[in-house]
Structure 1
Amino acid sequence: MSTIKILWVDDEIDLLKPHIMFLEQRNYHVTKCKSGSEAIDILDTEKFDIVFLDENMPGLTGLETLNEIKEKQASLPVVMITKSEEEYIMEEAIGNKIADYLIKPVNPNQILLSLKKNLDHSRLISEKTTSNYQQEFRKIAMELAMVNSYEDWAALYQKLIYWEIELEDIEDAGMFEILESQKNEANIQFGKFIEKNYSYWFDKDCDDAPIMSHTLFKNKIVPELSKEQPTLLVVVDNLRYDQWKVFEPIINNHFKKDKEEAFYSILPTATQYARNAIFSGLMPSDMEKLFPEYWKNDTDDGGKNLHEADFLETQMKRLSLTHLNYEYHKITNLKSGKKLVENFKTLKNNDLTVVVYNFVDMLSHAKTEMEVVKELASNDKAYRSLTLSWFKNSPLLEMIQMAQQLGFKLILTTDHGTINVKNPSKVIGDRDTSLNLRYKTGRSLTYDTKDVLVIKEPQSVHLPSISMSSSYIFAKSDLFFAYPNNYNHYVSYFRNTYQHGGVSLEEMIIPFVVFNPK
């Protein structure tokens, strides 16, 4: 490692000889000077890694010197050292983007700590994070071999997300590859778990099923509602758990988190099934049977999510919640989002305001169809970053800020997640087969059995049948279905796009979060 060069500016520099010797014994090179003007001249001819700057000097003061340094080299870290604890000096120095602030007398270890913090920060964090993940890797590997409940799978997935976000800024490609392989292995095992347990969760004798799309409203949302405090329920379509975690800190500026839980999307993990199930409190076959005027199957013409408000009304009546005032809003573009922000104050009179926000869904679909978005969201890290950038600048954040000012409780959730599909799986069906890339329903489907979860009797998991002999297949892990006709073109077009409808941790395990205003 090259020697770190320090410029130390202090009119009493000779008194600091022990500090300088301490640093030079640790392979730091220190250049000494006694005034601000001398420091400016030295910086014109030499390069330094960091400056230690005394605040109280004759001639140019520390703050004046700091201003000149920053004009010349804005990114050079400057550590201000002062006898004074006056607040205005701290504020001036911090306003000028100092790297650190030390109060005299300083001891050599304080100086060393400041150097480590400012110059070795990224490397030390990288090494520490990598070391911690290496220890955690063995624990996760053991858990993967033993995990056998929906609670354990949710906890394991959240742990994998935690490490994925921790490791994403670390320049250690090998470590990230290890995590990716662990995620892939987890999805393979999760597919087997769902294959074994999913049907049982709908058995009348099952007394230990997870909260799922059709039970979320009754069991988790209703207990939060009251006449005493208005509630804003935001359903961000297609929001994965990792995307939620990257914009959580922004919401935490305005709300304090009361609870966070994972729940399971029903299959197919697609909007017309999962989101309608949330608002109706019913599984798809029950929606089709009880409300044929609202429900459309995959092969029917027309929009599949046009009656969420109607489904919500039927559920409110069924749960005897008609005493609550509520409104439903669906935001599908920037214009409708801004309009709702303009009228937001009127929503304070509601006990419940439901906002379905479709942006993430539009983004993931646009990624398939638009090369520019495909470039911007080329992997999960980029996809998270794009979601965060959108959220920071969205009408949704404005609504959340206004909700906090008006004393709303905030509930944030989604209908399902998405997965970046990498590998094709050949499938053959007739012309009535549904078109989704992660699930198919129809007659006479031909497929690779190892790639799919098969539901031969849709009624067993409360799914509608398009015909008497219809079955469903769901792609596992990161697979997507491709027809043999024009196979290569189809595969190159859809590979590395975000899709939903199948069986994966990313699509099925999703967030439910409750906040109260700060």
Structure 2
Amino acid sequence: MNTIKILWVDDEIDLLKPHILFLEKKNYEVTKCNSGTEAIDMLDDHKFDIVFLDENMPGLTGLETLNEIKEKQANLPVVMITKSEEEYIMEEAIGNKIADYLIKPVNPNQILLSIKKNLDHSRLVSEKTTSNYQQEFRKIAMDLAMVNSYEEWVNLYQKLIYWEIQLEDIEDVGMFEILESQKVEANSQFGKYIEKNYFNWFDKDTDAPIMSHTLFKEKIAPELSKEQPILLVVIDNLRYDQWKVFEPIINNYYKKDSETGFFSILPTATQYARNAIFSGLMPSEMEKLFPKYWKNDTDEGGKNLYEAEFLESQMKRLSLNHLTYEYHKITNLKSGKKLADNFNSLKDNDLTVVVYNFVDMLSHSKTEMEVVKELASNDKAYRSLALSWFKNSPLLEMIHQAQALGFKLLLTTDHGTINVKNPSKVVGDRDTSLNLRYKTGRSLTYDNKDVLVAKDPKEIHLPSITMSSSFIFAKSDLFFAYPNNYNHYVSYFRNTYQHGGVSLEEMIIPFVVFNPK
């Protein structure tokens, strides 16, 4: 292992001899100098891993030396040491991206801690995270064997996501692979749980989770009032793990009040799940009550053109039509920027609904564009790409403005998505629907172990295209492939993000309430 090289800059460096001896006994190599000018010259001829810099020196001050160091080597960690506790000096130093700030007198252990924090941070975090997950692994495995309620599934899935995000930056690839295998096992067990319980969730006497069609009544409506404006943001196709990496960004403006993991209805597809949120109805009820708004899979035309009308009918049904509200759907950058630019005009609404479509477009682009396949090759990369979009999006600008205007923020989605890995053969007639994670049609032939089957769609409140139509839903990370041109089809769609089926990633999704800071 290479010796860590330290540059210590102090006009009274000889007084620091005990500190320097302490570090040298720990096998650090310390170079001493008495002035900022000398330190700048040394950086031209030597490579250092970290700099300890006295703030109060004759000639070039510590802050002036810091500026010079950062111009030469922007990523070199600099620890400022000062007698002064004046706030402006702290702010100047922090503004110049110092690595740490120590107040004299400092003891040797403070110096050692600062070195470890800055230079050994990744290794120490990696080792501790790995150790913690190893301890948690057995508990998750035991939970997997016993989980038997929707609340327990939400908790288990949230735990898996927590560890996935914790482990993604560590160097131990083996730990990450163990977690991946736990996710595969969890999805296998979850498929069995849904097969056993989903059909019963529509029985009035059964304890059921909050689902797409009950979300508005149970969670959104109680937040609505004339007292405070509400911004409801529905990000299409947002996975729970993507929400968790968005959360720290939103925390800059908002304080989280509550978070609920709820369940998307089947199929976990926009035309079913998002219409259900805005109508407060299941698809078969939408078809029956609003035939001019509802379109089945095989019908021509857009399937989500009437969400505003569905919302209006639900507001009336819930006796909320005394509130002023607007619905906006954003499907491109131009319309997003336009709404952000005019956001101030929404301040008098009691409820402003913004449906944002970018994440869904991202998942479809991964199927169709090689460059996006490269950028979102796995869940970690997909999270990173979604986060990069969110940080630079008009949506974040809207959230910032909403906070300034005193809006409460509600954030949710219609369904998630899963990276599909394995094909499952299916045969259907020409009228069979096209989705890769669910199929509806007559005379479907499939592998029973791969699917959840609804032979009578009315049992789960789905419309029947014909008298003999059924629905099948792919479990885990499977996707449906027809036998003809099979190999080409499989290679094209394998490792793409799809939705419509039964998986933790598609079905368990967030609803979050925030108050402005």
Q: Could you say which TM-score interval applies, normalised by the shorter chain?
A: over 0.9
Give the counterpart letter for 2:94 in structure 1: I
Do the aligned partners of residues 342 and 44 (structure 1) sit closer, same or farther apart at CA in structure 2, a change above 3 Å counting?
closer
Give the C-alpha shift of residue 18 in structure 1: 1.4
Give the counterpart letter for 1:102 in structure 2: L
Q: Which residue of 2 aligns with 1:168?
A: 168
Give the C-alpha shift of residue 40 in structure 1: 3.0
Give the counterpart letter for 1:7 in structure 2: L
Q: Which residue of 1 aligns with 2:309?
A: 310
Give the C-alpha shift of residue 236 in structure 1: 0.8
Q: Which residue of 1 aligns with 2:273?
A: 274
Q: Which residue of 2 aligns with 1:427?
A: 426
Q: How many residues align?
A: 517
Q: Which residue of 1 aligns with 2:25?
A: 25
TM-score using structure 1 length: 0.97
Question: Quick check: 450-459 or 502-511, which moved more?
Answer: 450-459
Distance 2:95 2:466 in 1: 69
2:469 maps to 1:470: yes
Give the counterpart letter for 1:386 in structure 2: L
Distance 1:335 1:41 in 2: 51
Q: Which residue of 2 aligns with 1:401?
A: 400
Q: Which residue of 2 aligns with 1:454?
A: 453
Distance 1:41 1:494 in 2: 57
Give the counterpart letter for 2:466 in structure 1: S
Give the counterpart letter for 2:366 in structure 1: K
Give the counterpart letter for 1:57 in structure 2: M
Distance 1:56 1:221 in 2: 57
Distance 2:301 2:492 in 1: 25
Question: Quick check: 285-294 or 37-46, which moved more?
Answer: 37-46
Q: Which residue of 2 aligns with 1:337?
A: 336
Give the counterpart letter for 1:412 in structure 2: L
SS of alignment partner, residue 88 of structure 2: helix
Q: Which residue of 1 aligns with 2:95?
A: 95
SS of alignment partner, residue 349 of structure 1: coil
Distance 1:36 1:204 in 2: 76
Give the C-alpha shift of residue 95 in structure 1: 2.9
Question: Quick check: 447-456 or 87-96, which moved more?
Answer: 87-96
Q: Which residue of 2 aligns with 1:501?
A: 500
Give the C-alpha shift of residue 25 in structure 1: 1.5
Give the C-alpha shift of residue 437 in structure 1: 0.1
Q: Which residue of 2 aligns with 1:123?
A: 123
Give the C-alpha shift of residue 43 in structure 1: 2.8
Give the C-alpha shift of residue 340 in structure 1: 1.7
Q: Which residue of 2 aligns with 1:186?
A: 186
- Report Cα offsets for 1:218-252 as digits up to 9, x if no partner: 11110000011111111111111111111111111
Give the counterpart letter for 1:323 in structure 2: H
Give the counterpart letter for 1:88 in structure 2: Y
Question: What does residue range 33-182 of structure 1 map to in structure 2 within 5 Å?
Answer: 33-182=33-182
Q: Which residue of 2 aligns with 1:364?
A: 363
SS of alignment partner, residue 52 of structure 1: strand
- Report Cα offsets for 1:25-65 as digits up to 9, x if no partner: 21112222233333333333222211222222333332333
SS of alignment partner, residue 227 of structure 1: coil
Give the counterpart letter for 1:156 in structure 2: L
Distance 1:186 1:356 in 2: 31
Give the counterpart letter for 2:476 in structure 1: S
Give the C-alpha shift of residue 356 in structure 1: 1.1
- Report Cα offsets for 1:381-438 as digits up to 9, x if no partner: 1111111111111111111111111111111111100001111111000111110000
Distance 1:217 1:97 in 2: 45
2:411 maps to 1:412: yes
Do the aligned partners of residues 22 and 262 (structure 1) sit closer, same or farther apart at CA in structure 2, a change above 3 Å counting?
same
Give the C-alpha shift of residue 7 in structure 1: 1.7
- Extract structure 1 runs of 4+ deviating beyond 6 A: none
Give the C-alpha shift of residue 86 in structure 1: 2.5
Give the C-alpha shift of residue 92 in structure 1: 2.9
Distance 1:19 1:398 in 2: 48
Do the aligned partners of residues 441 and 229 (structure 1) sit closer, same or farther apart at CA in structure 2, a change above 3 Å counting?
same
State the Cα RMSD in Å.
1.3
Q: Which residue of 1 aligns with 2:11?
A: 11
Give the C-alpha shift of residue 91 in structure 1: 2.8
Give the C-alpha shift of residue 320 in structure 1: 1.6
2:471 maps to 1:481: no
Q: Which residue of 1 aligns with 2:383?
A: 384
For structure 2, the 5+ residue unaligned runs are none
Do the aligned partners of residues 324 and 65 (structure 1) sit closer, same or farther apart at CA in structure 2, a change above 3 Å counting?
closer
Give the C-alpha shift of residue 377 in structure 1: 1.1
